[in-house]
């Protein structure tokens, strides 16, 4: 069982993560290539997964298998997370950000230049980290709607 303290710690090698999720290593790599997940990479380039990553992957698997949402659909859902509100981008930063104008992939899929995300580490960013569970994305959108 995990707690808040170890939830984001990269602990599991790729084979263990795949086994826990009952999927192949190839599938896990494909999710990474598609930009759905950013595993922690050791200097040896071996990947490690946290419990937070496992929760994100469970959400992805459930969206694919139970809700029949495609990978492109999941990327669109992630693109709806209002990162610019969460990291407090100014109007000018929004205007210069490709992710702000795009609705087909998550902000962490972009090669950011000339905006604050250029130097941010997506894996430790609250946008990427705090919405690993499907319920959190829905909750976030509901909160934004109720504030307007």
Nearest approach, Cβ of 43 to ligand SF4 (angstroms)?
Answer: 22
Q: Which two tokens stand for residue 103?
A: 């609705």
Pick 14 or 86: Cβ nearer ligand SF4: 86
Burial of 127 (0-12, 13-18, 19+ CB in 10 A): buried
CA dihedral 58→62→65→67, nearest 10 degrees, is -160
Pick 58 or 112: Cβ nearer ligand SF4: 112
Paired with 91 in beta bridges are none
Pick 13 or 32: Cβ nearer ligand SF4: 32
Maximum CA pair distance of the chain?
Answer: 47
Q: How far apart are CA 11 and CA 5, in angstroms?
A: 13
Nearest approach, Cβ of 83 to ligand SF4 (angstroms)?
Answer: 4
Binding site for ligand SF4 (CB under 6 A): 83, 87, 107-108, 112, 117, 120, 122, 125, 127-128
Q: Which residue has the tokens 């941010």?
A: 120
């Amino acid at each position: 069982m995990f707690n808040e303290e170890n939830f984001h710690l990269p602990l599991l090698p790729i084979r263990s993560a795949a086994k826990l999720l009952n999927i192949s290593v190839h599938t896990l790599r494909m999710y990474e290539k598609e930009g759905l997940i950013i595993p922690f990479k050791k200097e040896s380039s071996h990947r490690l997964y946290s419990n937070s990553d496992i929760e994100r992957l469970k959400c992805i698997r459930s969206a694919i298998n139970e809700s029949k949402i495609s990978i492109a659909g999941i990327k669109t859902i992630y693109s709806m997370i209002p990162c610019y509100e969460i990291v407090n981008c100014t109007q000018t930063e929004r205007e210069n950000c490709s992710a702000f104008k795009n609705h087909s992939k998550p902000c962490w899929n972009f090669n950011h230049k000339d905006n604050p995300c250029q130097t941010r580490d997506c894996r430790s960013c609250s946008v990427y980290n705090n919405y690993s569970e499907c319920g959190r994305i829905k909750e976030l959108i509901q909160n934004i709607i109720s504030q307007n």
